[in-house]
Amino acid sequence: MKDYEEITSFLGEWGPFQKVIFLLLSLSSIPNGYVGMAMVFLADIPPHRCRIPQLNFSGFGLDLNYSIPLQEVKGEVILSRCTRFKQQLDSATGFGNETEGCLDGWEFSKEQYRSTIVTEWDLVCDNAWKTPFTVTIFFFGVLSGSFLSGIISDRYGRRFIFFATLALQTVFSILQAAANSWELFCALYFIVGMGQIANYCAAFILGSELLIRNVRINFASLGVSMCYAIGYTALPMFAWFIRSWRILLIALSIPGFLYIPLWWYIPESPRWLLSQGRVKEAEDIIRAAARKNGITPPDVIFKPEDCEQLMENKESQRLYTWLDLIKTTNIRNITLISIIIWIVISMTYYGMSLNTPNMDGDPYFNCLVAASSEFLGYGSIWLFIRYTPRRFTLPFTMILSGTLLLIIKFIPQDMHALSLTLVMIGKTGVTGAFGFLYLYGTELFPTVVRNMALGATSMASRVGSTVSPYIAYMGTYNKILPYILMGGTTVIAGVLSLLLPETKGEQLPEFINQVKPLRCMCTNRASRDGQRQKGNAQVGNEVNNIQE
C-alpha cells in the first residue's frame, strides 16, 4: 500500500511551493509570541501609596511619614502600599497612630508607565488577587482553545480554523483596549487565549501536513518556534516606546491584519481533504503545487484503491478512545509521566517569563534578554535532536535548568548580573525542553493514539500555565521563592524523565502493544528483550481486532 507521502513524492521536498508554505506559516506565529506575554507590561504594578486628599502633591520621595506608615518589602523600607494613618485634628501633625485602608484610592508612580490595568482599576491591596487571576483567565482560554480547536479543525478543516482564530485573536485584542471594566477585560482575554493557542496549533498542524520529511522537522523545531521567539522579542521594544496599556494593546493587535493576504497563498491540507473523501479538491491543490514547483504531475494522482486504503486507515484510528492511553501498563506509565513533565515545564516556562518585572534591573532589558534566550533554546535543542539520545536531551536540559534556578538563592543580592545570567541560562534550557516535548511525544506514543496523546498532554500543560501567574506574583514579596519552587519541581521532573525509553533512530510504534516499557537502572537487557518480544507477538492480535 502506498501512503500519502509516497504518492505525492513527485512534488519534491523543497520547491517554491514548500518554501512559501514554510515561510508564511512560520511568520504567522509571530503574534502568538507577544499576545500571551503582553501582560508582563500590561499588568505590571508600579510603586504606589495611599492617596492623601489633605496633601496637595502626589510626588514620590517626599517626607510622608506623618501620614503613611513604613513597611519592609524585599529587604527595603518603603511607604506602606495599603494603609495610612487616620486623620486626627488635635494632633500636631494632623494624623494619629491608628491606621486605616486607602479609603480615597491610590497614587501610582508614572516614572515607568503612564498607565497599566493595575492603575486603571486599582488592582492592588485587597484587589491584588485580580492581577494574577487575569493571566489565569487567559490560560483558561488557552485550555479551552486546546480542547476545541482539534475538534473544530477535524470537522471544518485546518485552513478554516487557522484564519478564524487569527481573526478572533486580532479583533478581540483590539476590543480589549476599549474595555471599560476589569470584568469585561477578563472576558475578552479569555477569548483571546482561545484564539492564540488554536491559531498556533492550526499553523503547526497545517504546516506539518503540507510539508514532508526533513522539512517538516525543521518547520516544527525551528520555523514556528523561532518566529514565536521573534514575536516575544518584539514585545519589550513595543512596550519601551508605548507606556500606555490601551495604546500598547492596539499596537500589538494591528499586525494581525497584515496576514489577510495569506488567504490566497495557504491552501487547505490535502491530507484532511482525503480523510473527508474530497479527493478532487485534494488533487487540485497538489496539481497547483506541482505547477509552482515546475513539475508535471501524473494524470492520476490518487488511484481508487489507494483512496480506499487511506480511508480505511483513518477509520481504524477512530476505534480508539482516550481510555486507550491508560489501557496497558507501558502506555499508562508513559502517559502519566509525560503529563507530569508537561505540567512542570509549562509552569516553569511561563512562571519565569511572567516573573520578569520582579527581577532586579530594568524590566524592559530583562524581558528582552529573556525573549532572546528563546533563540538559543530552540537552536540548541535542534542540535541535541540531531546528535544526542532522547534520554539525555530531556533530563539534561531540565536538571540543568532547575539546578541553576536553585543556585540563585545563594547569590548575594548585589550580584545582579550573575543572578540574571543564571535565570536566563535556566530559561534557555526550559524553553528548549518545551519545544523538544512535541517531538519526543510523537515518538513515544503509537500511531493509533498519537494525536489523542499529544492533545491530552498539551491540555495537561495548561494546568501548569494556569498556576504560573501566582508563582510570579510571589516574586512581588519574595523574589527568591519563585525560583525555589520552579527549580525544585523542574529537577524532580528531570529525574523522572530518566525513566522514559529511548526513541532516537528507532521505528515509530504503530500499535499500543509496541509501546516500550520504562527504563529503570535495575532493569536488565534480557527482561527488556523479553517484554519487547511479548509485545511484538501481540501486535497481530491487535491488527486482527482493528480489521474486525
Does pLDDT of 524 surpass 50?
no
Half-sphere exposure of 430 (CA within 13 A, CB side): 33
Mean pLDDT of 340-346: 91
Count other C-beta atoms under 10 Å from residue 383's C-beta: 11
Residue that the C-alpha cell 481510555 belongs to:
323
Residue that the C-alpha cell 548580573 belongs to:
417
**Which pLDDT tens digit goes with each residue over 438-447?**
778 777 877 6
> What pLDDT does residue 523 have?
44
The more confident residue out of 242 and 363 is 242
According to DSSP, the residues that pair with 100 across neighbouring strands are: 84
Residues contacting residue 514 through CB under 8 Å, at least 6 positions apart: 446, 535, 536, 539
> What pLDDT does residue 29 have?
87
Handedness of CA 513, 519, 523, 524 (dihedral sign): positive
Mean pLDDT of 353-370: 77
> What pLDDT does residue 244 have?
92
Confidence class for position 73, pLDDT limits 50, 70, 90: low
User: What is the percentage of the chain residues whose pLDDT exceeds 90?
Assistant: 13
Tell how strand 83-87 and strand 95-101 pair up.
Answer: antiparallel
- The answer to which of 58-62, 95-99, 128-132, 279-283 has the lowest mean pLDDT is 58-62
Does pLDDT of 93 surpass 90?
no
Mean pLDDT of 82-96: 66
> What pLDDT does residue 91 have?
56
**DSSP three-state, residue 208:** helix
Output the average pLDDT for the chain. 79
**Which pLDDT tens digit goes with each residue over 285-301?**
888 888 888 888 777 77
Among 77-91, 152-166, 233-247, 314-328, the range of highest mean pLDDT: 233-247
Tell which CATH classification among 1.10.3720.10, 3.60.15.10, 1.20.1250.20, 3.20.20.70 matches the domain 322-548.
Answer: 1.20.1250.20
Mean pLDDT of 110-130: 88
Confidence class for position 75, pLDDT limits 50, 70, 90: low
Does pLDDT of 310 surpass 70?
no
Does pLDDT of 333 surpass 50?
yes
> What pLDDT does residue 175 have?
93
Task: Please say whether the beta carbons of 514 and 536 come within 8 A.
Answer: yes
> What pLDDT does residue 528 have?
46
* Nearest-angstrom CA–CA distance, 83 and 125: 9
Among 211-215, 319-323, 363-367, the range of highest mean pLDDT: 363-367
> What pLDDT does residue 88 have?
64
- The answer to which of 29-38, 241-250, 284-293, 505-514 has the lowest mean pLDDT is 505-514
Does pLDDT of 4 surpass 50?
yes
Does pLDDT of 535 surpass 50?
no
Task: Please say whether the beta carbons of 518 and 334 come within 8 A.
Answer: yes
* Nearest-angstrom CA–CA distance, 198 and 202: 6
The amino acid that residue 139 corresponds to is F
Q: What is the DSSP letter of 220?
A: I
Handedness of CA 150, 454, 203, 282 (dihedral sign): negative
The burial of 525, by beta-carbon neighbours within 10 Å (0-12 exposed, 13-18 middle, 19 or more buried), is given as exposed
φ, ψ of residue 456 to 5 degrees: the values are -65, -45
Does pLDDT of 248 surpass 90?
yes
Mean pLDDT of 194-221: 79
φ, ψ of residue 73 to 5 degrees: the values are -130, 120
CA distances from 335 to 228, 322, 328, 455, 463 (A): 27, 11, 11, 11, 16
> What pLDDT does residue 58 have?
44
Confidence class for position 527, pLDDT limits 50, 70, 90: very low
φ, ψ of residue 48 to 5 degrees: the values are -150, 160
Task: Report the alpha-carbon angle 512-515-517, nearest 5.
Answer: 135
* Nearest-angstrom CA–CA distance, 392 and 390: 5
- Parts of the chain belonging to CATH 1.20.1250.20: 1-36+124-319, 322-548
Tell which CATH classification among 3.40.50.300, 1.10.540.10, 1.20.1250.20, 3.10.105.10 matches the domain 1-36+124-319.
Answer: 1.20.1250.20
Does pLDDT of 189 surpass 90?
yes
* Nearest-angstrom CA–CA distance, 141 and 385: 32
The more confident residue out of 65 and 234 is 234
Confidence class for position 450, pLDDT limits 50, 70, 90: low
The more confident residue out of 278 and 180 is 180
Task: Report the alpha-carbon angle 500-505-510, nearest 5.
Answer: 70
**Which pLDDT tens digit goes with each residue over 15-37?**
888 899 999 999 988 988 888 78
